[in-house]
Amino acid sequence: MKTVLKTFAAALLLGVAAMGVAKADPVKIGVAAEPYPPFTSPDASGKWVGWEIEFIDAVCAEEKLDCVITPVAWDGIIPALTTKKIDLIVSSMSITAEREKTIDFSDKYYNTPTAIIGPKDQKFGATPDDLKGKVVGVQVSTVHAVYAKKHFGSTASEIKEYQTQDEANNDLAAGRLDAVQADSIALGEFLKSDQGKACCDLKGMVAPDDEVLGPGVGAGVRKEDTELKGKINAGIKAIRANGKYDEISKKYFDFDIYGGGGAQSN
Amino acid sequence: MANEAAIINAVARTSLWLQPHRIVLILIALGLVLSAAFFMRWDWLPQYYEMGLIGIWRSLWILAVTCVLGFLLAVPLGLAQATGSFWFAAPAKVFCTVIRGTPLLIQLWLLYYGLGSLFPQYPWIRESWMWPYLRQAWPYGVLALTLSFAGYEGEVMRGAFAGVPKGQLEAARAFGMSRWKAFRRIWLPQAIYRALPTLTGETVLQLKSTPLVATISVIDIFAVSSKVRQDTYLTYEPLLLLALIYMTITGILVFAFSRIEARIPNKIG
Amino acid sequence: MPHLPDLSQACLPPTQPSAVRANNPGATLIDALLSASAAGIIELLSPYPPGWGGTLLVGLLHSIEIALGATCLGLLIGTGGAYGKLYGGPVVRDLLAVYTTIVRAVPELVLILLLYYAGTDLINQALTAMGYQRVDISGLAAGIAVLGFVQGAYSTEVIRGAILAIPQGQIEAARAYGMSPGLLLRRITLPAMLPFAIPGLANLWLIATKDTALLAVVGFYELALATRQAAGVTKAYFTFFFAAGVLYLLLSLFSNLIIGRIEAWSRRGMPSLKEAR
């Protein structure tokens, strides 16, 4: 009986293993498995497109890395990195002291301000007083969730956390939220869509808080992966220097998203 | 004497259950639990303790409400299928098939995100008294879970109604009971007795479905554990504790139902 | 990502959307309900890249793959588990009892999360301990392993019940003939328990197809996630979740049809259920 069981166990493990053996050893680029235009978004044929995809492709080409885009759930993206399901997070993730306790970041590769949007028929701004009694939507485990809780937690009636940014946007359009806080570019893209145009407009940029919002967006790597981190940093520097970065950015934005400093993204 | 025998019996049963290998297994399990307690990080517990209790309460509340409402809905669904004319039976059958044939997660998202995104097109909905409720997430969660429970239990009730022997109903009619009285006094109670044993399983399954409401931003115990995971970047600790919480609730449910079932006479029909 | 041009092209004829959309002034109830004109919906669900029908079908294919794999893995675990529970030593039996109890008491969503992070780690550790190389487990394999582990607990109970339902004399007779345990399993136990196990296993298959949707929460690419992405990009939430519901329902109904056939086949030569009662 024991031998039968042992054989079973071995067969199971091998069966699972055989299914999972990958050929080469590519760098798995983790992106959040959700539409986050204009940075990362699936198109109708299942391909991932957007500024950030083109950016990391350029970095990988520069450093001759074999990169594959691997979508994972945003709320589990850091555990996915630490348990080696992915090797790099390229998903508009802000560099923060809190996250740096668990993972390392490359140099920043973009930095944009944080905005608040709301329904057209209401007039308010982006200060804690303006959001008094309002229901504010944010995406979970983003700097915005932390910021909203810290600055608006005492005045807003509720801070609702969504698994994906588009679900928060959708609930704003559906009238279930009074305001949404997120990266200004991602929100700008939403306001340009039919749904966004019909319902909402920009209320303002939030006051900077570098401790929470961090110095910009970087690529997340495991702490022990210093070699990969070095390569990504070198790649970013190279495409910044040779004009590739600006070339990609011009396709999406009419301003410099690399940014100087101050408040910014996810 | 009888008392002594009972004690000896109990001791014998315990010693039968507590075989040497079980003692070793229990020691190993204890060792695992202790090493988990010592070597894993639990310093976040005090901070989230209160939130966790509220989450558990909310999960239980959703479970209770959806099971009761779902069961109330299941009775007419089962009855319609067991007896009703085609015009009653067909819609009930279609409802049960659709609910049982699609994932609860899709039903939930269709109701919350799908229906929810249609509402703003109708100003009268936003101006009605329902709007404060429709704005929140929990009514959609409760609705989806209720319909789901009704769909599965409706199928059980159909069998339960059909399983009540015809003779019982004929006897009731022969006693001069009206149709309604026969239904209320004989048919319904017997059908419910028949369906009761499945209720334990269905309720446990329903408990296991409640964490899905976290995907539509209801803060139940699952959502609290997700929050801990996101705030602390711990993977295993909150999930292990969550699994333990669900196992405890399941255990209590199964125990409570077995006590209730023991009180109900099992000689029926 | 695999594409399935044949399947998707066979489903819907190409449409000429823009013309139809223009002369549709009086929005009917259905139109209003689906928040786009009928032509718009066909456009959205078209299998060709501007439409997302193809993505949904690829997602459906992944769901079916995962469900099939998970059910097969579950069957393997279930057969082993049932054997262990019935004939194994006391330790094996107790461990299996712990396994089936825990899996059946904890929500699938929690198990999926736990196994998704811990499971692949454990498999790798087990492989290295047994002297094999560490492997890189793909999304599909991880999904199958996770759901298969959950299915295994339920299959264990179903198969155990089915083996117990076999008339004991048959097994004793086989032993008396001097059959080895392997031969006994292949020739007697498995075929004889099949008619008893199939209703339960069929139910497990239906559960597996629906449980694949839970993998969307972890970020596995299957029908529910494909739908969520399509809905998020196009903002046509109702249309896409409705379409996904229809696809899942069709899968269930089609499965029921096949299951009926298999049940009839497995019971061939036996008295029908009604007579047996």
Query: Tens of pLDDT along C127-150?
Result: 878 877 766 667 788 889 889 999
User: Cis link prior to B139 (omega < 30° from 0)?
Assistant: no
The token pair that represents C6 in the structure block: 């044949």
| pLDDT of C176 | 92
Are B206 and B108 found together in one domain? yes
Q: What percent of chain C has pLDDT over 90?
A: 48
Are B10 and B106 found together in one domain? no
Class of domain A114-212: alpha beta
Of the listed ranges A3-7, A207-211, B1-5, B238-242, the least confidently predicted one is A3-7
| pLDDT of C13 | 38
Nearest chain C residue (CA) to B113: C237
More confident residue, C134 or C109: C109
| pLDDT of C104 | 92
- The one-letter amino acid code at C7 reads L
Alpha-carbon distances, residue A214 vs A142, A208, A217, A218 (angstroms): 11, 10, 8, 10
Are B205 and B96 found together in one domain? yes
More confident residue, C11 or A122: A122
Q: Spell out which residues of chain B touch residue C103, defining contact as CB-CB under 8 Å.
A: none
| pLDDT of C268 | 80
* pTM, full prediction: 0.86
| pLDDT of C182 | 85
| pLDDT of C251 | 96
Q: What percent of chain A has pLDDT over 90?
A: 76
Torsions phi, psi for A181 (to 5 deg):
-110, 130
Evaluate if residue C84 carries a pLDDT over 50.
yes
Confidence of residue B144 (pLDDT cuts 50, 70, 90): very high
Measured between CA atoms, how close is B250 to chain C, in angstroms? 6
Task: Specify if B269 maps to a domain.
Answer: no
Residue of A81, A86, A41 lying closest to A68 (CA atoms): A86
Strand arrangement of the beta sheet that strand A114-119 belongs to:
A158-162, A135-139, A179-183, A114-119, A200-205
| pLDDT of A173 | 92
DSSP letters, A177-239, are -SEEEEEHHHHHHHHHSHHHHHHEEEEEEPPP-HHHH-S-EEEEE-TT-HHHHHHHHHHHHHH
Compute the average pLDDT of residues A60-89: 91
Same fold, A24-111+215-252 and A114-212: yes
Torsions phi, psi for A182 (to 5 deg):
-165, -175
User: What value does the mean pLDDT of chain C take?
Assistant: 82
Of the listed ranges B55-64, B142-151, C25-34, C249-258, the least confidently predicted one is C25-34
Q: Check CB contact of C271 with chain A, cutoff 8 Å.
A: no
Compute the average pLDDT of residues B230-253: 92
Are B65 and B84 found together in one domain? yes
Chains touching chain A through at least 3 C-beta pairs below 8 angstroms are B, C
Q: Roughly how many angstroms between the first and final C-alpha of chain C, as a whole number? A: 51
Evaluate if residue A257 carries a pLDDT over 60.
yes
More confident residue, A186 or C21: A186
**Which residue in the block uniquely carries the two structure tokens 């041009």?**
C5
Q: For C52-270, CATH number?
A: 1.10.3720.10
Cα–Cα distance for residue pair C109/C115, rounded to 1 Å: 10
Alpha-carbon distances, residue A253 vs A192, A249, B144 (angstroms): 13, 6, 42
Confidence of residue A260 (pLDDT cuts 50, 70, 90): low
Cα–Cα distance for residue pair C148/C152, rounded to 1 Å: 6
Domain boundaries, chain A: 24-111+215-252, 114-212
Q: Do B113 and A79 touch (CB under 8 A)?
A: no
Residue of A225, A190, A211 lying closest to A27 (CA atoms): A225
Maximum alpha-carbon separation in chain B: 78
Domain count, chain B: 2
Instruction: State which CATH number among 3.10.20.30, 3.40.50.1220, 3.40.190.10, 3.30.360.10 fits the domain covering A24-111+215-252.
Output: 3.40.190.10
Evaluate if residue A57 carries a pLDDT over 90.
yes
Of the listed ranges A132-146, B46-60, B109-123, C78-92, the least confidently predicted one is B109-123
Q: Spell out which residues of chain A touch residue C88, defining contact as CB-CB under 8 Å.
A: 1, 5
Among candidates A4, A163, A167 on the partner chain, residue whose Cβ is nearest the Cβ of C181: A4
Per-residue pLDDT of A132-186, as tens digits, reads 999 999 999 999 999 999 999 999 999 999 999 999 999 999 999 999 999 999 9
Evaluate if residue B124 carries a pLDDT over 90.
no
| pLDDT of B2 | 59
Residue of C241, A117, C36 lying closest to B106 (CA atoms): C241
Q: Check CB contact of C252 with chain B, cutoff 8 Å.
A: yes
Compute the average pLDDT of residues B213-240: 91
Task: Specify if B88 maps to a domain.
Answer: yes
Evaluate if residue C7 carries a pLDDT over 60.
no
Q: Are C56 and C230 in contact, with CB atoms under 8 Å apart?
A: yes
Task: Specify if B181 maps to a domain.
Answer: yes
Evaluate if residue A9 carries a pLDDT over 80.
no
SS3 B209: helix
Q: What percent of chain B has pLDDT over 70?
A: 97
Task: Specify if B79 maps to a domain.
Answer: yes
User: What value does the mean pLDDT of chain B take?
Assistant: 90
Confidence of residue B253 (pLDDT cuts 50, 70, 90): very high
DSSP letters, C82-113, are HHHHHHS-HHHHHHHHHHHHHHHHS-HHHHHH
Measured between CA atoms, how close is A58 to chain B, in angstroms? 30
Chains touching chain C through at least 3 C-beta pairs below 8 angstroms are A, B
Q: Do C92 and A5 touch (CB under 8 A)?
A: yes
SS3 C236: coil
Cα–Cα distance for residue pair C219/A34, rounded to 1 Å: 9
Q: Check CB contact of B235 with chain C, cutoff 8 Å.
A: yes
More confident residue, C40 or B50: B50
Domain with B31, as residue range(s), is 1-39
